[in-house]
Amino acid sequence: MDNEAGTELSKSLKGAVKYNQTSSNMTNAYGLSIYFPYRQTNKVDNMVSTYDEIGMDESYSNCIQKFASMAYYGQAAGQSTGNTNPASILLGSGNASSGSMDSAQTIMQILNAVMTQKSTTDAFLNKGPSLEEAAEYIAENKFDASDLKWQMNANGDNVIALSEAQWENVQQIEFSTFVDDGSGYIDLGLDTTFEWDEDNNLIANTDRSWIGIEGKIVAYHHIDTTGDASNYTITGRVPVLLNGERADLILVFDSEHEDGYVAGATYDYKDGETEVIAKNLTELQPGDTLEFICDYYSYNGEYYDSHLLEDGLTVTKSMDELKISNLVIEDKDILISYVFTDIYGNSYYTEGLSE
């Protein structure tokens, strides 16, 4: 904020970083981050304990505990309607006909049952709202998955039409594409490209396009979007075997690079090695081999990890010269769906549409 307090805060933040080094293609990276339980709550107690030891202001610890408590209760109440498993879409089911949480009393019963079955109690829940307060809030601010039904608009497009109140309970939307390769379904990941009709309804993407690198369609998973239409940054990952070792290519699309670029590669951490996402990136070098991998599902919904896509490549140019483009999926049946994430982190798949 452009005032005296904001200026002093900026100076303090810059002074807190004693050493900083980034690659030339990662701008505005100053080496300072802070934990917030936006996507998961299982680290809250550990982080609060750490904050207590290093003298973090108690008000921030209280903030993240209250936020995490509300997210936890919302996810617990949404277990009967949320569905993060794509296999249900492939098998012809989904969330479009799922039920909803009708009242605070119903939600209270669900929360009581969940808390009774817990073998241990997370300490952060004691800092949050009571079950009664949580149930009332969730009842007033809930997403009804039964509204995720495809319907036809005046132009003949398949659309998802939600009320304004429903849209207010949507945190994120992602586009999912599955390719039928004759033996099962290739999961190409999640993207964030959308189109809306004049009534602000979500139009089904039927152009059969997907992200490719050097002319090869890859599995792409959206990570994060920040900024606005004039100044934005979208990051995503492409799972690969880099010289035979499991890694993710990090792709960046921003207001200065609308077509995107490969920012580097990050290697998977081993289980338990760290509690944070890798920030350092490895630059690709000429001669590096890339084999593109994806999740895979059999026709009966069985999941297979790290399925190899048909074509890999050997890097023959500098990393920033690798071409990212949208490619059309030809000669194969595809199934598309959209994943709606509510304000508590519950995910709901629309019914699948065949193309």
218, two tokens: 């890859």
Q: 10-residue block means of pLDDT along the chain (355 residues)?
A: 88 79 59 77 90 91 94 85 68 54 83 78 87 93 90 95 95 94 94 93 94 96 88 93 94 92 80 50 92 93 87 90 94 93 91 87
168, two tokens: 């207010």
| Amino acid 16: pLDDT | 81
For residue 25, give the nearest of 231, 223, 213, 283 by alpha carbon. 283
| Amino acid 271: pLDDT | 45
| Amino acid 2: pLDDT | 82
Q: What pLDDT, in 10s, does the model give residues 205-233? A: 999 999 999 999 999 999 988 888 888 99
| Amino acid 116: pLDDT | 82
Q: What pLDDT, in 10s, does the model give residues 299-330? A: 988 898 889 998 899 999 988 899 999 999 99
Query: What Å distances lie between residue 308 and 240, 244, 246, 296, 303, CA to CA?
Result: 9, 12, 12, 9, 14
| Amino acid 181: pLDDT | 93
Strand locations in 141-298 (E): 150-152, 158-160, 170-180, 184-191, 202-203, 209-213, 216-217, 220-228, 231-242, 245-254, 257-267, 289-298
| Amino acid 308: pLDDT | 92
| Amino acid 84: pLDDT | 62
| Amino acid 274: pLDDT | 47
| Amino acid 171: pLDDT | 92
**What is the DSSP code string of 118-135?**
-SS--GGGGGS--HHHHH
| Amino acid 120: pLDDT | 64
